[in-house]
Amino acid sequence: MKTIKGSEELLLGIDIGTQGVKAGIISPDGNLILSTSKAYPTFTPSSGWAEQEPSHWWQATVEAVREICLNNPTEARKISGVGLSGQMHGSVVLDGENRPLRPCILWCDQRTSSQCEEIREILGNERLFSVVSNPALPGFTAPKLLWIREHEPDIFQKISRILLPKDYINFMLTGNAVTDFSDASGTLLFDVKNRRWSNEVIAELGLPENIFPPIIESVHVAGYVSEEASKLTGIPRGIPVAGGAADNAASAVGMGVITPESLAVSIGSSGTVLAPSKVPLADPGMRIHSFCHAVPDTWYLMGVMLSAGLSLRWFLDTLGEPEASNAKQSGEDPYSLLDRTAQKAHPGCGGLIFLPYLSGERTPHGDPHAKGVLFGLDLTKRRSEVIRSIMEGVAFGLKDSLTLMSKLGVSPKLVISGGGGSRSKLWRKILADVFGFPIIACSQSDTAMLGAALLAGVSAGTFDSIEDACEMCVSYTDKIDPDPSNLKTYERNYQIYKELYPALKDLFQKSFENY
């Protein structure tokens, strides 16, 4: 039974993403009333590194929320709850006065391969599988802590608390330091099956137990907006702030993917395939992840590719001058112009195949040294085919995850697409043809922000449950069916795609060693 406490109530969702913060106010029926975004920089002090300043997240959050609240005071006064979503795995290490000791090492940072090997040697793959249900990969939080301990011992000794990115913003809003089950799942220090910190793993890695925050459900109240935060942001003082969720879990809520019947495919900076489960599942080969969902007593399998939308962003930044210039002149979105150019190419791009490993890769290879590749270039290939091959390569990478999940019994009735890439009808069409499934797109593209707001609604009592919130607020647009005439072309290219990584793996390693 759906319940809405009051039509005058509004919900504020905040998503701390990789490229910037998005903030929006939604009504209890899911309509986006107001939204804005603020960007912040990513720093790469060395090859393969990626860092951001937590203070930049907070400054951007304050600016975004303040812009909404102070420019729209009537709506701001109606806010009844705040929810947060954020990029996973980041390491926000604080001193005894709760000040960040160093920049946050991000999810896409690849510096910790030796620390991952150390974790595997200490715990063994069998123990990793049985307890944390995930492989030791550079993106996770635990190897980042070991790296800090090894390379920055003075900083490590000063660590009083570690938080995930959205938890830091939650702390700045409320003064309370907590995390939720979905975000804790991505630390490699968490017992996913039993939904608790693994004190055994923490001890075996020689980490202090007292630096890890309490864990609450995503829909539970983490704290209340403080007087100081209220003055800075314009959010009314004392409004409850939900525990929130990791971006992928929040996005799944915003897409209505909360039961095993549905599957989410998201193309943001990274790309994900997410399948909910009512019981904890794990891949024995640990090629896909097993995490707790934002929904109580629910888990999900997730495959992750590190450079999905980032692959197209790389092309735009590096080789997209025509689209960038035309966009400035016409006022159009440069990605829409890339999309229009890609439509000129035929499916399969004449055998041109893109490996989207620009930041290494997570699923299914777990290889920080993997590189991006354009395979099949010849004098007949045009700009349109290069762009489309990038979109197709991302779809192939996402299919890798779906293939692995199907072996664990995942059999969805509905595939829902989200993330910025879902705005492209061409990309959704490519996904439908590559997957062989109909694809339905969410009406709201900022699904993590929407999911965060829905969690706030449950926390504040606007909705009885996440199920009620999704039923009331999540809607979908057109369905795209796979085109049978394209299936053979994509299956042929996908088979070549799968053979390229094993053929090039040793060369990727040699390239890394040489540079």
> Pairing mode, if any, of strands 221-224 and 240-242?
antiparallel
In a domain, 220, yes or no: yes
Identify the domain boundary among 219, 253, 287: 253
In a domain, 466, yes or no: no
The verdict on 290 and 323 lying in the same domain is: yes
Is 509 in a helix, a strand, or coil? helix
The verdict on 216 and 309 lying in the same domain is: no
Give the pLDDT score at 515: 63
Output the six-digit token pair for 470. 């999704």
Is 265 in a helix, a strand, or coil? strand
b/e per residue 278-296 (b: at least 16 CB within 10 A)? eebbbbeebbbbbbbbbbe
The verdict on 115 and 187 lying in the same domain is: yes
Q: How far apart are CA 255 and CA 487, in angstroms?
A: 27
The verdict on 189 and 302 lying in the same domain is: no
Give the pLDDT score at 421: 87
**List 180, 247, 400, 468, catalytic entry:** 247
Is 462 in a helix, a strand, or coil? coil
In a domain, 82, yes or no: yes
In a domain, 4, yes or no: no
In a domain, 462, yes or no: no
Q: How far apart are CA 417 and CA 406, in angstroms?
A: 18
SS3 for 172-236 is HHHCCCCEEHHHHHHHCCEECCCCEECHHHHHHCCCCHHHCCCEECCCCEEEECCHHHHHHHCCC
In a domain, 267, yes or no: no
The verdict on 488 and 387 lying in the same domain is: yes
The verdict on 305 and 160 lying in the same domain is: no
How many domains does the chain divide into?
A: 2
The verdict on 226 and 358 lying in the same domain is: no
Q: How far apart are CA 422 and CA 179, in angstroms?
A: 29
CATH for 14: 3.30.420.40
Give the pLDDT score at 5: 46
In a domain, 464, yes or no: no
| Interhelix angle 334-342/321-330, nearest 10 degrees | 120
Q: Mean pLDDT over all residues of the chain?
A: 94
The verdict on 226 and 292 lying in the same domain is: no
Give the pLDDT score at 110: 86
Give the pLDDT score at 452: 98
Containing structural domain, residue 358: 272-444+478-514
Residues of the chain under the 70 pLDDT cut: 1-7, 515
Give the pLDDT score at 7: 55
Give the pLDDT score at 90: 97
Is residue 191 flagged as an active site residue? no
